[in-house]
């Protein structure tokens, strides 16, 4: 039982590490934002594994949901500006 949880944690740790590297190294801004959202969401699963459901809920709602939404709104706004020129 403990082992299974450990492997889940290992998988999520790899997802987070590779995801964050990908988000930083890719040239496409939109892709980076979405991948960052995935990293943030998987970190909330990590919080759940650490027996911190309060933090997990907050991270999922604020850290993952609203921060990503803010980034996407910003991206859209910058895109609009590009169209004008």
Partner 1 sequence: MAQLFILSSISLLFIGLFGVLTRKNIVKILIALNIMETGINLLLVAFGYVENGIVPILTSNESIMNLTKMVDPVPQALVLTSIVIGLGTTAFSLALAIRYRYNHNSLSIRASEEEEGVNI
Partner 2 sequence: MRDERSLFINIVALLILSVIGFYIYKVSMDTGKGIKITDNITPQMRVADRFMNKNVIKEESKYVWGGTAENTSANIVTSVVVDYRLFDTTLEVIVLFVTILGFGFVIPKDKRKIIKPTTILNRWAPILMILMLMIGGYMFVNGHLSPGGGFPAGAIISTAVLIGVLAGRKTLSQKTLKIIEAVAGISIFSLGIASFVITGNFFQNFILNDRIGDLFSAGLIPIFYGLIAFKVAAELSNIYFEFYEEC
* Minimum CB distance to partner 2, residue 57 (Å): 5
Q: How many residues bind partner 1 (CB under 8 A)?
A: 42
Among 4, 45, 50, 83, binds partner 1 (CB under 8 A): 50
CA 29, CA 55: separation in Å to the nearest integer? 28
- Cβ distance 43 to 63 under 8 Å? yes
Q: Is 11 in the site for partner 1 (CB under 8 A)?
A: no
Residue 29 site contact among partner 1, partner 2, none (CB < 5 to 8 Å, cut-off depends on kind): partner 1
Give the tokens for residue 43.
């970190």
Q: Residues 77, 82, 83, 85: which binds partner 2 (CB under 8 A)?
A: 77
Contacts of 68 (CB under 8 A, 6+ apart): 33, 34, 36, 37, 40
Beta-carbon-side half-sphere exposure of residue 3 (alpha carbons within 13 Å): 0
Q: Which residues of the shown chain bind partner 2 in the complex (CB under 8 A)?
A: 52-54, 56-58, 60-62, 65-66, 69-70, 73, 76-77, 80
């Amino acid at each position: 039982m403990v082992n299974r949880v450990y492997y889940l944690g290992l998988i999520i740790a790899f997802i987070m590490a590779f995801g964050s590297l990908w988000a930083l190294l890719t040239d496409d801004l939109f892709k980076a934002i979405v991948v960052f959202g995935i990293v943030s969401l998987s970190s909330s699963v990590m919080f759940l594994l650490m027996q911190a459901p309060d933090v997990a809920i907050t991270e999922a709602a604020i850290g993952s949901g609203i921060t990503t939404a803010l980034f996407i709104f910003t991206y859209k706004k910058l895109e609009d500006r590009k169209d004008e020129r």
